[in-house]
Amino acid sequence: MQIFRIQGGSRLSGEVKIDSAKNSVLPILAACVMTEEPVTLLDVPNIEDVANMIEILRSIGADVVREKKAVTVRAKGSLTDELPERLEKTLRASVFLVGPMLARLRRVTFGYPGGCEIGLRPIDLHERGLRALGVVIDESSGRLRCDGGSMRGAEIHFDYPSVGATENIMMTAAMLPGKTIIHNAAREPEIVDLARFMNACGARVSGAGRQIVTIQGVKRMHGVTYKPIPDRIVAGTMLAAAAITGGDIYLTNAPASDMVAQIAKLRDMGCDVHDGQDTLRLRAPKRLRSFGKIQTQPHPGFPTDMQAPMFALATVADGSSVLMETVFESRFQHAHDLMNMGADITLGDRMAVVRGVQRLHGARVKAHDLRAGAAMTIAALAAEGTTEITQIGQIDRGYEALEASLRSLGARAIRTAE
């Protein structure tokens, strides 16, 4: 088993290029099966979630070739209509294949997907949306067998602006007869990116990024070469890593316009953040100030995926900070490990009060989930002594060689076998 071993106390400085966003790449990879023509995606990070999605695509009959940062998918010929149970349990995003396979084959069988253990994350909104489009779903076998032979465009209203459900219904509706209108759609940048990709392939999606999204069905879609948007969460994580060390960092290919909420909180903490067209520079003070309060919300609110990294910053900031998690009910698992490192934290129901201490100390901690792993890594950079982080496979799901990126900025961080 591999771990991260991090010696704290180094000030980070230097330049990092941000790859395409995991949360854009995964649904776009799924959408590739809607056409038999080749689709090439650029700047794709070499992370476990992408590797798992590629394996799932291959298992259903798609040809996938990866050359460095480019991934080409060709789903020519017949595809199997059943997602592999063994693989879908490793990846929450496997559910994104349901929409494209219904669009292409008019049928699909799948199970409940896996991913991070951060809460229930039900797929009931996906199911309701599919049923509204005319999909017949049979759950009697313990798996979901979907028959889309009678699908047609429809109006759908989501009780909650779910990113995954919005994306899945967009893809399902892309090649249906008639018009589909999604009310209370998610507005995340990744929604806009998926719509842009689909339109580049010949789809007709309008309104992405707003509360009402309209999909006019087309008869076919075609191949394209496409570069997904940069990863706003990876960019935010790198900024946080620099901030906690009093560092000076420059990011290229950075989605500054999609990071308004993150940047505002970093400025509240005393960081000088300059945002260019596709660049970001952060210069941190010797000691951060508390950010006051963060409440996670759907976009354009503060992203839940940045809650854990900002939690880590709060542990050594001057003053008290309050974090409220409204998106997932089990996303404070990092708090107890931070307390083991000397953090002063009081936990309530989906709320944490963090009183900044002068310094953390090294400890043996765990990456409970993807973003919790990022938080532990950030905290380790500021801790006195050595921190060992276990279960780093969780971190590898969304960050490509995070320890190497940090080392390039001056961190003393290695990956090693126990």
First to last CA, the chain: 6
Segments in 286-333 forming alpha helices (H): 307-314
Give catalytic status of residue 146 as yes or no. no
**Cis peptide upstream of residue 309 (ω within 30 degrees of 0):** no
Catalytic residue among 116, 146, 201, 271: 116
Task: Kindly tell me the sign of the dihedral angle through the C-alpha atoms of 170, 175, 177, 178.
Answer: positive
Burial class (CB in 10 A: 0-12, 13-18, 19+), 382: buried
Q: Identify the CA nearest to 180 among candidates 157, 147, 149.
A: 157
CB–CB of 119/330 below 8 Å?
A: yes
DSSP 290: P
How crowded is the C-beta side of 74, counted as CA atoms within 13 Å? 7
Q: Distance (Å, rounded) from C-alpha 274 to C-alpha 253?
A: 14
Alpha carbon distances (Å) from 371 to 85, 231, 310, 397:
25, 14, 10, 10
CA-wise closest residue to 398 among 306, 315, 329: 306
336-353 in b/e form (b: 16+ CB < 10 A) is: ebbeebbbebeeeebebe
The pairing of strands 144-147 and 107-110 is: antiparallel
Pairing of strands 279-283, 293-295: unpaired
Catalytic residues: 116
